[in-house]
C-alpha cells in the first residue's frame, strides 16, 4: 500500500544555505511565476509548463527541456530539469484545481501515475545514476 507523508517545506528546503543574491533571485522568480498563474486563466497544462514553470526554473539557472506531445494517448514528460544533457528531475504539471492534481489527500491520481510512467521510461533508457 502506498503511503504519503506530507512534510512542511522548511524540513527539506534550507533557505539560509543560499546566498542573499540567490535568495532574492528565487523570491523574484517565484513572484513572477505566481503573477503569471493569477493573470493567465488557461485551460492548457502545456501552456502552464511552457510559459510559467519553464521560465521559473530557467530564471533560477536550471537547464530545462519541454517535450512535445506526440498525439492523443501518447503522453510525454511535461518538463525536465537537465544536467549534462540527461534528465535529472521529472515534472508532471497539473493545474492546482484539477482533479488529477497530486496532494496528500489525492495520492492515487493521474499526475502520480504519469510521473511513475516517465520515470520507468527513463530507466529503460539507462538514465539513472
pTM over 0.85: no
CA distances from 51 to 74, 80, 112, 128 (A): 22, 14, 22, 28
Phi (first) and psi of residue 53, to 5 degrees = -65, -45
Write down the mean pLDDT value for the chain: 78
Of 61, 66, 74, nearest in space to 49 by CA: 66
pLDDT category of residue 63 using cuts at 50, 70 and 90: very high
* CA atoms of 103 and 80, how far apart (whole Å): 20
Q: Lowest mean pLDDT: which of 11-20, 23-32, 84-93, 99-108?
A: 11-20
The pLDDT of residue 5 is 74
Spans of all domains in the chain: 18-124
The pLDDT of residue 85 is 85
For the chain, the distance separating the N- and C-terminal CA atoms, rounded to the nearest angstrom, is 27
- DSSP assignment of 112-123 equals HHHHHHHHHHHH
Residue 105, CB-side half-sphere exposure with 13 Å CA sphere: 1
Amino acid at each position: 500500500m502506498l503511503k504519503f507523508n506530507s512534510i512542511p517545506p522548511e524540513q527539506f528546503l534550507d533557505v539560509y544555505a543560499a546566498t542573499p543574491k540567490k535568495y532574492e533571485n528565487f523570491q523574484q522568480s517565484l513572484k513572477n511565476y505566481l503573477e503569471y498563474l493569477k493573470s493567465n486563466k488557461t485551460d492548457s497544462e502545456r501552456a502552464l509548463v511552457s510559459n510559467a514553470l519553464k521560465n521559473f526554473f530557467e530564471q533560477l539557472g536550471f537547464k530545462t527541456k519541454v517535450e512535445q506531445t506526440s498525439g492523443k494517448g501518447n503522453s510525454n514528460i511535461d518538463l525536465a530539469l537537465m544536467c549534462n544533457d540527461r534528465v535529472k528531475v521529472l515534472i508532471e504539471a497539473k493545474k492546482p484545481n484539477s482533479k488529477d492534481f497530486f496532494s496528500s489527500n489525492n495520492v492515487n491520481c493521474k499526475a502520480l501515475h504519469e510521473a511513475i510512467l516517465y520515470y520507468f521510461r527513463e530507466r529503460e533508457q539507462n538514465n539513472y545514476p
